[in-house]
Amino acid sequence: METIIVILFVVGYLAITLEHNLKIDKLIPAIGMMALLWAVIALAHMPVFEVNAELKELEPSHVEEILLHHLGKTAEILVFLLGAMTIVEIIDYFDGFATIKGYITTKRKRSLLWIFCILGFILSAIIDNLTATIVLITILQKVIQDRNLRLWFAGMIVIAANAGGAWSPIGDVTTTMLWIGNKVSTLQLIEHVLVPSVFCMAVPTLIASRLEVFKGNIEGDFGDGVPDSRHGSTMLYLGLGMIVFVPVFKTITHLPPYVGMMLSLAVVATFAEIYSSSKFTLTELPGQDPEEDNHEGHHSPVHHSLSRIEMPSILFFLGILMAVAALESLGMLFNFAEYLDATMPYLGTEAAGGKVSDLVVLILGAGSAIIDNVPLVAASMGMFSVPIDDPVWHFIAYSAGTGGSMLIIGSAAGVVAMGMEKIDFFWYLKKIGLYALIGFLSGAAVFVLIRNFILNA
């Protein structure tokens, strides 16, 4: 039966990877694969286990218990993401992101490249790399008429956004998974991954800034940076501040992050309702009047924001995380990890903690450029039995977060940039891929140096 399980997972995984060729949204094979895997486990009465990370062994369990356990862990991530997405949509409802335009005054291409990359690096750490990419490319489309130049900017923004998301517990889905799964803590993650992520962004940006395409000035105007809504700037700062507050809330209360995110959403939603002067009613939902749907004051901004959440992404995460959980429950990931430990040459240091080879983590990072990094990280969480804040988890956070930049389809930021600017796969591979690889390896080298010679000195 294990062979059937593996076949189902591989077929589902291929369908997810080839969604553009099959023209089937990846959420469909993800949720279908999840349901079939657990159905086979239940019908065949296959033994299931729970991994004891402290004892590094498998403990027998029951299907109902282990399924509920994994669903609870997955729900924590999904509720957290729902809260974060809603806050971002509320900011956008008040046109808060237009405020960012006011910080951009120069027209020199080289200076603009650094401004956009730094903005992408910082914003992605707060509102996640996907949203940061959407915001910055939207600004690009309004001010740069030359499409070829815009493609270069978009490609470098993808690198910067993925680098910025890697060092923040709320900057990338995979890093959030590690944080919520008690694999990393906020301060330790920042201490280990921030500097490598800076190198991952700065090195390729420095090299690219010397290219001919980034010489001279652009033609166009960034506008006055004034949001359409008079409350835009206030909602931007409030929303970003409340998202940043979530790790602080977790540190103080030791409650799961989704609790803090719900509190932050409640605060932001309260101000949104006050500013919009609308009544909170379930009978008047957005979309009933297309002409009034996007105007402040006609309906609840919270309902409007909830209607714009990417539910396909939420269902995809549900499917893929629960599918990987099925493999973990059967002990497959645990046994595979032991096989890697026994066969893969070890390139780390014993003092660094953990016995996971750096080569394995680098391969995981490179693999995230080809296949989705979410299941890769989910699998690694079930494979490696090392304690919280072991450097292995920090290296996985860095590699999985930044490795996807090497291909346009390797990250959520890359996929959305591809859609917004119609970026060709091979154009990105030829023009941007090398810079992403240089940044990835630069950051990895810095991570190893800091881990071996500074933090463990």
pLDDT band of residue 53 (cuts 50, 70, 90) is low
Q: What is the pLDDT of residue 393?
A: 92
Give percent above pLDDT 90 in the chain: 33
Looking at every residue in the chain, the average pLDDT score rounds to 83
- Of the two residues 103 and 207, the one the predictor is more confident about is 207
pLDDT given at position 99: 81
pLDDT (tens digit per residue) in 196-222: 999 999 999 999 999 999 988 887 665
What Cα–Cα distance (Å) separates residue 118 from each residue in 3, 141, 158?
47, 18, 12
Q: Determine the pLDDT at residue 204.
A: 96
User: Is pLDDT of 284 > 60?
Assistant: no
pLDDT tens, position by position, 35-47: 999 999 999 988 8
Residue keyed to tokens 């060729």: 21
User: Quick one: pLDDT band at residue 457, thresholds 50, 70, 90?
Assistant: low
Average pLDDT over residues 437-456: 89
Top-confidence residue, 94 or 201: 201
What confidence score (pLDDT) does residue 224 get? 55
> How far apart are alpha carbons 239 and 250 in whole angstroms?
18
pLDDT tens-digit readout, 382-425: 777 788 888 889 999 999 999 989 988 788 788 788 878 888 88
pLDDT band at 283 (very low <50, low <70, confident <90, very high): very low
Pick from 128-132, 190-194, 342-346: least confident: 342-346
Of 168-182, 371-385, 390-404, 428-442, which gets the smallest average pLDDT? 371-385
The string of pLDDT tens digits covering residues 288-307 is: 444 344 444 446 888 888 88
Where residue 354 falls (left for φ over 0; alpha for ψ -120 to 50; beta otherwise) is left
